[in-house]
Chain A
Amino acid sequence: MNRRSKKFKWQRKHLLGLRDLSAEEITYILDTAKGFEQVSKRSVKKAPPLRGKVVCNLFFEDSTRTRNSFALAASRLSADIIEFTKKSSSVSKGETLLDTAKNLEAMGIDIVVIRHSAGGAPKFLSRSINACVVNAGDGFCEHPTQGLLDIYTIRKIKGTLEGLKIAIVGDIAHSRVARSNIWAMSKLGAEVILVGPPTLMPAQVSRLPVSVSYTLDEVIEKVDVINMLRIQFERLGGNPFPSVREYSHYFGLTVERMKRAKPDILVMHPGPINRGLEIESEVADGPNSVILEQVTNGLAVRMAVLFLVNQAAAQWK
């Protein structure tokens, strides 16, 4: 093996967020993901590194992309999967998160992938059980694998994040995707600009490594990447903007606005899309859109994450 070069060693058996990771750790996950991309392209779309391991998808909130992506990632790595959803479980009978997790762990689970509406739930779990914990979205805190797949997609096309101007547009306040993006993109040398109405900016925005703009027209011409967030109607309290039409008018990514953007701008969206609201259909399906590439890359990134946490866990045996 490669015994002479200085070796970085992956040591985390949990992936709770990108805020705590170093640029080197983030880059290591992305480089590892490259090796997993081709597993999905060959004749046998499966490799054996997690053979005999059990991954539990513990989702307390709805999800299409993330849950299925983790399930497919786990099966491509030859792990067995237990699908847990809140509705069909004993949570509806009042079982707590910890009891649920401990009971599942008693069945011999190795990795728990958790999504929960309470920020910090994955961290709490990681301190209470022996299995590896991977955060698949917690409250408004983080969604690290989404942040990683966003960066992976940008890096694959642009080569590096260093020096790129990236706008994140929309409901920043309620977005865990935005937070994971902000932490990781700034660590890798990108300049992050948050765009949205003041009512949808996080309370302590001045403490984040970003600049802020309240008009999309001011930034559209200068950015290399634009990440459009979904308006999360299910989380919005009060009236953060007067009307959907007004929001679209000021912050929607329209064909008209795209005419002023750089010709090679990357248009991203974590999904699900509100077509015609934050992004016009022609733009979402247009030549600059990498929205579906994001989904494809998400699989490789999640395979890498599952592989790495398991590899770290093996060191503690």
Chain B
Amino acid sequence: MKVILSSEQIKRTLDDLANRIISETSDEFDIAVIGIRSRGEILAKRLSRRLSKKRGKDIPYGTLDITLYRDDLNSPQGGNQPQVRTTEIGFDIDNKIIILVDDVLYTGRSTRAAMDALVDLGRPKAIKLAVLVDRLGREFPIQADYAGIKSDAAPVKSVQVNLVESDGKDEVIVE
């Protein structure tokens, strides 16, 4: 097991992501943060706090469940049967710049599913992808607009993002 981001580094990485998002987004448009269940949801909440502070106004956040949009629902899933959970987005996404947040960008399949789920909810001005870890191994033509760190972990390895809210501790490990 190797720790690639410590608790302190996660904090700094999120600060840095928030800075970059604010500096590259025109004041003209409203921003909203939407996290993909379940780690993305937590990161979205943290990011929206930082963005709200920097913009000096409330940047809303929401949670997206992508299960219904997955591309493996009709294939055997082994022990990893995805459970349908709720999408909780308490605001209109029309014409907003949506910062879509996930913990790890790997194959790009979750991001594809998330984009399809989002356009069924409305027509955002733009969707930008922010991730904590940008891992090598894309299967779809998708890339992050804002990435914390890059990882070239081999396909047999697992990149795990642990967060205080869900796992009791902030760290990113490769094992």
Contact = CB atoms under 8 A, between A and B. Distances in A.
Nearest to B122: A43
Contact of B68 (A4, A9, A49): A49
Given A42-B120, A44-B121, A47-B69, A304 B84 contact: yes
Contacts of B70: 49
Range for the number of chain A residues in contact with chain B:
20 to 34
B73 A49 contact: yes
A183 interface: no
A4 B79 contact: no
Interface in B28-82: 38, 65, 67-70, 73-77, 79-82
Interface string B74-98: 1111011111111100000000000
Contact of B86 (A7, A38, A44, A307): A38
Interface string B95-113: 0000000000000000000
B77 A35 contact: no
A32 interface: yes
Given A35-B87, A42-B121, A47-B68, A9 B73 contact: no
Contacts of B121: 42-44
B84 A36 contact: yes
Contacts of B38: 2
Contact of A48 (B75, B87, B116, B158): B116
Given A1-B80, A2-B38, A48-B116, A35 B74 contact: no
Range for the number of chain B residues in contact with chain A:
20 to 34
B120 A34 contact: no
Contacts of A32: 83-84
Which of B74, B84, B158 gathers the greatest number of chain A CB atoms within 10 Å?
A: B84
Interface string A167-199: 000000000000000000000000000000000
Contact of B81 (A9, A49, A316): A9
Interface of B: 38, 65, 67-70, 73-77, 79-87, 116, 119-122, 158, 160, 167
23 contacts: A3-B80, A3-B158, A28-B83, A32-B83, A35-B65, A35-B84, A35-B87, A38-B87, A43-B120, A43-B122, A44-B121, A46-B120, A47-B68, A47-B120, A49-B68, A49-B69, A304-B84, A307-B84, A314-B73, A314-B74, A314-B77, A317-B75, A317-B76
- Those 3 A-B pairs whose CB atoms lie nearest each other, nearest first: A35-B84, A44-B120, A47-B68
